């Protein structure tokens, strides 16, 4: 397809779709980068936590009659509590071991969480209604912009900016980074480093669930919805640089848009374009584009 033959509204609509997907990638890769950069854990359970956020939001609306805005707060809290239990009960026992043990453990947790979801709800997708406040679309001079997709972009970028600010510009973030480098030294100042580590993993889990709630009105809620996302997100984290917050967010946004444009011009390559870029980047910069800024 000739790029110059595409009508401008179609091109902008596809750009918007790519940006929305890029926002999901950015929030998910942000959580992965926070957990790896500060805890040194490769968290393969992130996709299951993304799914859990969407599923908990659906359950809250279906069984308790809770609205979207309530579940946007409650679902990340539920996932955060589960994340804290995972870190305290399981991950805290393997920090001194090779990364492979953390990867295998979180992969096993993923299989357990998805298996429970399949047993309860099967694999067919379930619809989740978005908020009435964001229904419809806004007609702009150059395109029709769905209100909910605009909200997803704003909420995702706000979550990414707030996370970056807390970790990079606050005393809590400084203590957390110092605690991962020399826990004993930080504990001499009266800081409860194990609690901070637990809260960090819980926060990463809550970010994944937050993205899941945002995605629920757009995607079909299913126990398997996290599988295709997590593979792509891992590739994005590798491209941006393991542990680099800015790299993960920027790479997620850019590759989401690029994936959307690829679907428009050459749909057959849209599923592989991220992995092709990952291979090319690793040939030039094995540590990723922003690997020099990682905490480790």
Residue 131 is assigned to a structural domain of this protein: no
Residue 293 is assigned to a structural domain of this protein: no
What integer pLDDT is reported at residue 57 of this predicted model?
95
What integer pLDDT is reported at residue 217 of this predicted model?
93
pLDDT of 66 strictly over 80: yes
Domain of residue 44 covers 12-122+138-284
What integer pLDDT is reported at residue 296 of this predicted model?
41
Residue 175 is assigned to a structural domain of this protein: yes
pLDDT band at 294 (very low <50, low <70, confident <90, very high): very low
pLDDT of 246 strictly over 50: yes
Residue 275 is assigned to a structural domain of this protein: yes
- Rg (the chain; Cα; Å): 19
Residue 128 is assigned to a structural domain of this protein: no
101 C-beta neighbours (distance < 10 Å), count? 16
pLDDT of 78 strictly over 70: yes
Residue 168 is assigned to a structural domain of this protein: yes
Total domains in the fold of the chain:
1
- Mean pLDDT within 249-261: 88
Cα–Cα distance, 118 to 116 (Å, whole number): 5
Cα–Cα distance, 74 to 32 (Å, whole number): 21
What's 202's domain CATH number? 1.10.3470
Which residues contact residue 126 at a Cβ distance below 8 angstroms, ignoring those fewer than 6 apart? 58, 220, 221, 222
- Mean pLDDT within 49-56: 95
Produce one character per residue of 265-289: b if its CB has 16 or more CB atoms within 10 Å, e if not.
Answer: eeeeebeebbeebbeebeeeeebbb
- Mean pLDDT within 75-81: 96
Residue 220 is assigned to a structural domain of this protein: yes
Q: Is the dihedral of CA 82, 80, 200, 242 positive or negative?
A: positive
Residue 263 is assigned to a structural domain of this protein: yes
What integer pLDDT is reported at residue 33 of this predicted model?
83
pLDDT of 295 strictly over 50: no
């Amino acid at each position: 397809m000739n790029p110059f033959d595409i009508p401008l509204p179609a091109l902008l609509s596809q750009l918007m779709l790519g940006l929305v997907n890029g926002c999901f990638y950015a929030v998910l890769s942000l959580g992965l980068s926070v957990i790896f950069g500060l805890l040194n854990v490769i968290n393969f359970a992130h996709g299951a936590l993304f799914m859990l956020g969407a599923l908990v939001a659906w359950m809250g609306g279906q069984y308790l009659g809770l609205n979207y805005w309530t579940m946007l707060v409650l679902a990340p809290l539920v996932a955060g509590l589960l994340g804290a239990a995972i870190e305290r009960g399981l991950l805290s026992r393997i920090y001194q071991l090779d990364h492979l043990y953390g990867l295998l453990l979180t992969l096993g947790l993923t299989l357990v969480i998805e298996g429970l979801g399949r047993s309860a709800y099967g694999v067919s997708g379930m619809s989740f209604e978005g908020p009435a406040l964001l229904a419809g679309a806004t007609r702009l001079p150059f395109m029709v912009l769905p209100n909910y997709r605009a909200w997803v972009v704003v909420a995702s970028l706000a979550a990414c900016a707030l996370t970056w600010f807390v970790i990079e510009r606050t005393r809590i973030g400084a203590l957390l980074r110092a605690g991962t480098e020399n826990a004993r030294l930080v504990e001499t100042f009266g800081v409860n480093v194990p609690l901070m580590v637990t809260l960090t993993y819980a926060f990463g889990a809550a970010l994944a669930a937050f993205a899941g709630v945002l995605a629920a009105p757009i995607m079909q809620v299913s126990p398997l919805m996290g599988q295709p996302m997590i593979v792509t997100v891992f590739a994005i984290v590798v491209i941006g640089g393991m542990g680099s917050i800015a790299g993960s967010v920027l790479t997620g946004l850019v590759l989401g848009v690029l994936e959307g444009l690829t679907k428009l011009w050459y749909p057959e390559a849209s599923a592989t374009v991220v992995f092709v870029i990952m291979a090319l980047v690793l040939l030039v910069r094995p540590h990723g584009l922003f690997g020099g800024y990682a905490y480790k």
